[in-house]
Amino acid sequence: MASSEVKFPAEVATKIDMTTAEITST
């Protein structure tokens, strides 16, 4: 279960990073 909890934030961080890249690109 701990692994799943750690994996979730990792995916969210990746999504945020991609979104930030888009904002920076624009």
For the chain, the domain total comes to 1
CA–CA dist 8, 16 (Å, integer): 12
Whose tokens are 């799943």? That residue is 4
CA–CA dist 5, 3 (Å, integer): 5
Q: Could you tell me the pTM of the whole model?
A: 0.42
> What is the reported pLDDT for 15?
92
How far, CA to CA in Å, does 13 sit from each of 1, 7? 19, 10
> What is the reported pLDDT for 24?
85
> What is the reported pLDDT for 10?
83
Q: What is the SS3 assignment for 1?
A: coil
User: Residues 1-26: pLDDT tens digits?
Assistant: 566 666 678 888 899 999 998 888 77
> What is the reported pLDDT for 25?
78
Query: Which residues form the domain of 21?
Result: 1-26
